[in-house]
Amino acid sequence: MASKIRVTKVFDFEAAHALWNYNGQCSNLHGHSYKLYVTVIGTPTSEGSNPKNGMVMDFGDLKEVVNREIVSQLDHAVILNRAAMGEETGAFRSMLDKCYIVDYQPTCENLVADFAHRIAGKLPEGVSLYRVRLDETATSYAEWFASDNP
């Protein structure tokens, strides 16, 4: 009997950001120890000769996708909104080895939506992205669900 199964892999990375034109403390450059949960859904393969028999997706394959698309780019990076980039930021950017510029406000909500979009297109056939959760602090997180985003 074929059952749909969800599998989740957890990732940790460190990054800093600032919210452009925000009216609170998060307008200042600050960092987070992010925790990213990526859940995929599918039916485990039942081909006896397949080395991935019994798996929805090899955790190592999921790790490779998420590391390539997100973690390797953002770990120990500064994430900034392109709208905040003016001529006066040139000297500031020269001090940063990893400055990741995005076309949106780098809030937890926008980051998790971006991550979901980047991961979904890289999954193997028969496997779908189910949920992405991004913990910004120990008590604050944002979630993206495929069922909410047809």
Residue 62 pLDDT? 98
pLDDT tens per residue, range 91-135: 666 667 788 999 999 999 999 999 999 999 999 999 999 999 999
The one-letter amino acid at 67:
N
* Mean of all residue pLDDT scores within the chain: 92
**What total number of domains does the chain contain?**
1
Which one of 32, 76, 99, 109 is the catalytic residue?
A: 76
Residue 97 pLDDT? 78
Contact of 43 with 130, CB cutoff 8 Å: no
Looking up residue 44, the CATH number of its domain turns out to be 3.30.479.10
Residue 128 pLDDT? 98
pLDDT tens per residue, range 25-36: 988 889 999 999
Burial class (CB in 10 A: 0-12, 13-18, 19+), 125: exposed
How far are the Cα atoms of 38, 45, 132 from residue 17, in angstroms, in the given order?
A: 22, 41, 20
| Domain interval for residue 110 | 5-148
Residue 99 known to be catalytic: no
Which one of 26, 109, 117, 143 is the catalytic residue?
A: 26
Residue 108 known to be catalytic: no
